[in-house]
Amino acid sequence: MIFWRVKPLDAILATAESKSLHRSLGVWQLTLLGVGAIIGTGIFVLTAEAAQKAGPGMLISFVVAGFVCAVAALCYSELSSMVPVSGSAYTYSYAVLGELVAWMVGWALVLEYAVASSAVAVGWSGYFVGLLRHSFGLDLPAALTAGPYAGGVINLPAVVVCLLVTGLLAIGTKESAAVNAVLVAIKIGALATFTVLALPMIEAHNFQPFLPAGLPGAMAAAASIFFAYVGFDAVSTAAEETRNPQRNVPLGLISSLGLCTVFYLLVAAGAIGAVGAQPVLDASGQPLPPGSLALAGQCRQLAEAGQQPLVCSREALAQVLRQIGWPQVGNLIGLAAFLALPSVILMMLFGQTRIFFVMARDGLLPEALSRIHPRFKTPHVVTLVTGCAVTLAAAFLPVGKLADISNSGTLFAFTVVALAVMILRVRDKHRARPFRTPAIWLIGPLAVGGCILLFLSLPSDAKLVFPIWGAIGLCIYFLYGYRHSHVALGIYLPAGGEDLIGELRSLAKPKEEGFLPTPESVTPRGGNDSRGGVN
């Protein structure tokens, strides 16, 4: 049965060792990579989107989304310490739940990383346009700064930044991480400055009514805000390029998520309390859908009347500072977002290319996608292919829709990871675990239940996209991956893989003997013929 084509963990580790990426990242760099991926569009841009759904109640939304991510991160930490290779949830599910589920997870991660990259690029475009207008008095043509959803033709700034980041990633991981460290420092400095200036301006009446759309509005906002946290799992995709990954990857995951959660709550409280965050309502008194033509029309009318509600802003934090008497600092916040948001695009694209790289290495996608550049040591082919797809999405789609679509794939992947941790605790309980998820039988179900709840809170169109996307993925799998899969062909290990298994066995420190398979147990029964079949 194709559902049960399982690739042994030891074969996965041996494959990674034989065709591996360069290990150059430490815990500090991983934490910065995580912060770079997490803090970005979620707080700089989606603050306005969340306010339109929940009003001041988006504070609850940040807590709910952060909690779901926290329990998911604990599950990720255990698996990433056991399987320190590229591939994230895709690799973990391949080793636990089988090839078909792994394919679906990898395909879902396309929605997480590639679509999220596009969403961040659209968010960056809004700050770029605002920076030009307020700092230099330049107004770009509306047709070139928005997609058809807002009356434009193409979002040209978003296209440019996607192409630039793709080029940087093709050059090299270490170089990308160095640039990212500078951008993260700028981003944290900008958010700290905003917090210091906005929190003293909080007025209690701006929090009333706290839940203008009720608890369902807060949950809908949580489903969108979830997008603001999910970058943490990009850290796990860098495991194969990390020194001492068993220790450093879990530390990078947890520390980056904790740091970002504190920032999110402080910044959201400052924005709401300083200028208010009430949604724009329709004739029936319900909030208009974010990213809709109706909301865009209402916002234009309010702007013509001299009103600038937070929910209408494409550069929310900069606008808040301008409204409370710090216009120049607001412009600097816009400049910081302009400089820092590309780090999020970089990390999302980084994660996506590594997922495709490992899927191609397993034979589920054309092997050409796993080629590594002889000079830059990066998967340059898949980087360029992914970059072009991300650029097209950023050119024409709105940030809110992109974020919700991205979340639908992410929530599926997180659910599978939580299930995989619990299954492995039963099936392979003696395997060494450098990091163990605490209270797994509480944390695991909480992660699964939280992901399902947030998925059900997504807009209907976002919920429909995932099954359609999944059906397309299944077609590709059965047309290509099913027949070319290395596991299906009996190619569990690369050339020399048996020797690598032996080395892994000698380095491992099991609690009981016999928990690692012998080289023969991961070699086709027909002998050493790599084309042997799989039952």
Q: What is the rounded distance in angstroms from the CA atom of residue 1 to the CA atom of residue 40? A: 43
Q: Which fold has domain 20-84+114-276+289-401+445-467?
A: Amino acid/polyamine transporter I (1.20.1740)
Candidates 391, 456, 334; CA nearest to 147 is 391
Decide: 358 and 382 in contact? Cβ < 8 Å. no
**What pLDDT score was predicted for residue 452?**
94
One-letter amino acid for residue 529 of the chain? D
Report the alpha-carbon distance of residue 485 to residue 477 in Å, rounded: 9
Token pair belonging to 224: 């969108």
Residue 29 vs residues 174, 178, 180, 187, 248: alpha-carbon distances, Å: 10, 8, 9, 15, 10
CA 143 to chain CA centroid, nearest Å: 29
Mean pLDDT of 393-410: 80
Contacts by 440-443, CB closer than 8 A, 24 or more apart: 440/78, 443/71, 443/74, 443/75, 443/418
140: nearest Cα among 119, 126, 161: 126
* 442-447 mean pLDDT: 94
What mean pLDDT, rounded, does the chain reach? 77
Query: ∠ at Cα 105 (421, 345), nearest 5°?
Result: 105
Q: pLDDT-based confidence at 24, cuts 50/70/90?
A: low
The span from the CA of 370 to the CA of 353, in Å, is 9
pLDDT of residue 448: 95
Whether the CB-CB separation of 420 and 101 falls below 8 Å is answered with no
Residue 314 pLDDT exceeds 50: yes
Residue-wise pLDDT tens digits, 242-266 = 777 667 777 787 788 888 888 888 9
Residue the block writes with tokens 């099913």: 482
**Averaged pLDDT, 470-488:** 87
Highest mean pLDDT: which range of 288-297, 414-423, 503-512: 414-423
**Mean pLDDT (whole number) for 68-74:** 87
Relative orientation angle of helices 99-136 and 460-476, to the nearest 10 degrees? 130
Q: In the structure encoding, which two tokens stand for residue 346, read together?
A: 């970089």
Q: How far apart are CA 356 and CA 351, in angstroms?
A: 9
Instruction: Quickly state the pLDDT bin for 525 (edges 50, 70, 90).
Output: very low
pTM for the structure as a whole: 0.75
Cα angle 182-185-190, degrees, rounded to a multiple of 5: 130
The number of residues making up the chain comes to: 535
Report the range of poorest mean pLDDT among 129-138, 370-379, 455-464: 370-379
As a whole number of angstroms, the distance between CA 438 and CA 487 comes to 33
